[in-house]
Amino acid sequence: MKAARGAAAGPSSRASAKGPERTGEGDLLDLYRAMVEVRVLDTRMLMLQRQGRIGFYGPITGQEAATVGSGFALGERDWVVPALREGALAIRRGMPLEDAVAQCIGNARDRLAGRQMPCHYSWPKGRYVAMSSCVGNQLPAAVGIAMAARLRRDPVVVMAYLGDGATSTPDFHAAANFAGVWKAPVVFFCQNNHWAISVPSSRQTASETIAIKARAYGFEGVRIDGNDAAVVLETSRRAVEKARAGGGPTLIEAFTYRILGHTSSDDPSRYRDEAEVRAWKERDPVERLRERLESLGVWDRARDERLREEADARVQAAIREVEAAPPPRPGTMFEDVTAEPTPALREQREDLERFLEARP
């Protein structure tokens, strides 16, 4: 199979943002630690799925710089409206690691009581909205959140994530058009990882880039190297600051690559060339940032090994703690459905309680 058109190419020089201007060594170290931690979590959670201990997982591997770098640009009161691979930001914004593990297992420790697909985290305290698996439908909601904040004179920004495939949906058009007309304080962050499950970018759009689509809606679009964490952070900061100041939306196209399958249920070898994957592995965003830190003299192999060992220990401890929890209470199926239970729900719940009492 031939590689998809443009799959191994770098970002378009005409659309690329300028390099980092304010990203110091401290920022880079923080970015690197967060990226390593999510890589370690990915590895462990995929192992759990292969062992049958969880049913499903959506890995971020290869896209850490795009996800983590963009999230670092947000303030505590800003909102994150995710697509699929932004779970690291829920943890970044305060969600305990145990909650992330429990949500994938779906037992009594899961705040969502096992009623949401794995990796579909929700963290209201951190203004991280639960994702939907319907591609693109989060975008009008993100613009709605942004407009509501503006009407309330609340100076927050919404970071709306999407993949390259989402730009082919009607919801993308509706969201971008509305945001452009009303200058909504929203940043559309597109992780162009070249594959919408098994459909290559060349089958998604005939546009030269995804970023160029912003012109039709009257706002700025920029394509960046999504595997350069510093560039991602700096570009995202500029877009967030512009939106907060009333300058309207920005569409950021982060040119990156999904190294593994779309999810743990996917076999990417059936539709893409392994040579393409190997070429992108040479641009691994985690290794790329590690090499940069070492060249700056602020990192070394010993620190790196210690960081990875500590991160792995935390993940394994969280897994042990969460796996010890029982299944969700059966009665949770009736909770959070309506403000007040209907007569039918009350009757069904009473029937369930009688059934469980008779069969301990």
* Alpha-carbon distances of 141 from 171, 217, 315, rounded to whole Å: 10, 18, 32
* Three-state secondary structure call for residue 200: strand
> What's the pLDDT band for 19 if we cut at 50, 70, 90?
very low
Query: What's the average model confidence in pLDDT over 324-337?
Result: 90
Phi/psi at 113 (nearest 5 deg)? 55, 30
Give me the percent of the chain exceeding a pLDDT of 90: 83
Q: Is 344 in contact with 126 (CB distance < 8 Å)?
A: no
| pLDDT confidence band for 6 (50 / 70 / 90) | very low
Mean pLDDT along residues 284-302: 97
Between CA 266 and CA 58 the distance in angstroms is 10
pLDDT tier for residue 338 given thresholds of 50, 70 and 90: confident
Across the range 3-28, mean pLDDT stands at 53
3-state secondary structure of 41: helix
Which residues, other chains included, contact 14 with Cβ-Cβ below 8 Å and sequence gap of 6+? none
Residue 33 has pLDDT above 90, yes or no: yes
Non-local (6+) Cβ contacts of 93 within 8 A are 71, 76, 80, 123, 125, 126, 127, 128
**Distance (Å, whole) CA 124 – CA 111:** 11
pLDDT score of 336: 83
- 188 membership: H or E segment, kind and range: strand 186-192
The residue that leads in pLDDT, 350 or 16, is 350
**Is it the case that residue 5 has pLDDT exceeding 80?**
no
Highest mean pLDDT among 12-26, 115-129, 297-311, 332-346: 297-311
Worst-scoring range by mean pLDDT, 127-141, 228-242, 285-299? 127-141
Average confidence (pLDDT) over 142-167:
97
pLDDT band at 11 (very low <50, low <70, confident <90, very high): very low
pLDDT at 22: 66
- Average pLDDT across the chain, whole number: 92
> d(Cα 178, Cα 156) in Å, to the nearest integer?
18
Task: Choose the weakest-confidence range: 22-31, 186-195, 214-223.
Answer: 22-31
| Superfamily (CATH) of domain 25-328 | Thiamin diphosphate (ThDP)-binding fold, Pyr/PP domains (3.40.50.970)
Query: Would you state the pLDDT for residue 10?
Result: 45
Model pLDDT, residue 170: 97
Rounded mean pLDDT of 53-70? Answer: 95
Which residues are part of the catalytic machinery?
Answer: 258, 262, 271
Angle, in degrees to the nearest 10, between helices 25-50 and 64-71: 130
Question: Which has the minimum average pLDDT: 112-121, 174-183, 280-289?
Answer: 112-121
Give the residue extent of every domain in the chain.
25-328, 330-360
Instruction: Report the distance separating Cα 224 and Cα 277, nearest Å.
Output: 20
